[in-house]
Amino acid sequence: MKIYHNSRCRKSREALEILKTKNIEFEIIEYLKDNLTRNQLKDLIKKLGIEPINLVRKNEQIWKKNFKNKKLTSDEIIQILSDNPKLIERPIVELNDKAIIGRPPENIINLLQ
């Protein structure tokens, strides 16, 4: 199991606590320190079962200033996320061939069942 974690995010810290209380072994991926590659993002998006645009934090200033209202392809969005990891929705918990966005935190519990 992996958690894509941002230590400054309250929801991400909550997700970490859920995993710890369940005594589950997991790997923490600090995606802000080590940017995800395009291929890693494509794999994660496939496991999430969403379109790339649904992984974007659209309220971030980077998005509003540079990309909002532009017609972007999925590949362009994936590149933007790779270049600007702050735009990636969080937290993400990955288990085998599935992944979820841990908002709300109940999503994590559902994944574990």
Tell me the domain boundaries of the chain. 2-112
In this structure, the number of other CB atoms found within 10 A of the CB of residue 68 comes to: 12
What architecture is domain 2-112?
3-Layer(aba) Sandwich (3.40)
Is the pTM of the predicted complex or chain greater than 0.85?
yes
Set 9, 24, 95, 111: catalytic member: 9
What is the chain's pLDDT, residue by residue, as a tens digit (113 residues)?
Answer: 999 999 999 999 999 999 999 998 999 999 999 899 999 999 999 999 999 999 999 999 999 999 999 999 999 999 999 999 999 999 999 999 999 999 888 899 889 88
Annotated active-site residue 64? The verdict is no
Distance CA 27, CA 105 (A): 18
